[in-house]
A and B are shown apart, each in its own frame.
Chain A
Amino acid sequence: MEQNEKIQYRSPLRRGELDPNRWRNTQIGMWAWLWQRISALAIIIFLGIHLTLPYRPLIQFLLLLTVTFHVVLGLRVILMDFGIVHTKYQKALVGGLAALGIVMFIIVWMGIY
């Protein structure tokens, strides 16, 4: 212990600090988390516009798109939260649910227009 006090430690490296491979190595899970939060904000904005200017196809399109996106990423977390899908399938879960989301998006959009 006495010896340790004399040694000057370097403060902990943060994730990505001095790391030339920072972005290439960002795993899909982090993007999934980040983009879900961003899509949540986008939903608030588009929902606000949608309520003030109803029945505008462009706004409906954007709102449905962000909601689908948010739902896909949310379902991913829910499925893992309750142990319904094992976490080792997390990457497949993102892809699979995204594909499902696109299909549902097209069905709903075709249903409206």
Chain B
Amino acid sequence: MPILFFLLIVLAFLSLFLGSTYISFSSVIKHLLGNELENTSSAFILTNLRLPRVLTAISAGMGLSVSGLLMQTYFRNSLAGPSILGISTGAGLGVALVTMSASLFGVDFFLNGYSLTIASVLGSILVLLIVLLLSYRIGSGVLLLIAGVLLSSFIGAFLMILQYFTNPEDVQKYLLWTMGSTTTTSLFDAVLLLVIVIVGVFFTFFLIQPLNALMLGEKYASSLGIDLKKTRLLIILITGLLTGSITAFCGPIAFIGLAVPHFVRMKSTSANHNLVLPYTALVGGIAMLIADAIAQVPFYDIQLPVNAVTSIIAAPIIIMTIVQLKTVRD
């Protein structure tokens, strides 16, 4: 675990060098230590572009992976995750309503950046509640995943209608957001997001025992003295907060929340969450830093949408997992 933590720090540091402008090693060190740089444009780029980008990538990777872990354990479904179950789309609906409110309703809900975050958190909690209610009726197997995908396209339909009636500028703003990005945040917002994620992950550590017990299903968990109602509520609040706020800042980042917990569980010798949880958080941060680095397309003056990169990396991992799970089951 210390090695992974070290790797995360190193990658985060290296990531500060990525971008279209060359900034020397000594300048970066100097700047990080709080010294004034002679080259003010380098200082500006580091403070307002690269540092926020790196912090946002780490927060997003950690938060989404931990959310995915919570959902996979709770629903006892290895393919559950924020993007599959429609949680991200729910967050997207919140964001769309706010960004397009002015041209749609004539009232601008976009008071400041945080109305976006709040709408997004509410949107994801709403969808989580619907998924939870559905899981009581249809169990937590393949049917729940299908329901999640359907729910996603159901909400997607509303999103399409919203876009149809909105002016092109707002639509473009929204579309850019859906491609995913770690670069649109200010340093203050990036630190805020990091704090939110750390708080969310911190509370997850109090769920280690319930999560462990839930791997045997709710009946066994309750026979082991777990308070199911409290656990469920905490899981919804944490997942909603993490997915919602990350999605508001970075757009609906695909697949990280699904692939990372899997990857960790495949490598882990034990399914105990006191091992899986910290590893998931760390690997999540690392994975997102790597995805973000690829999206920066080092040495070229272009940027790719982060969402395209995460999908390209994660989809093969997920397919591999499905194949492996199949052999575990048989």
| B and A form one assembly | no
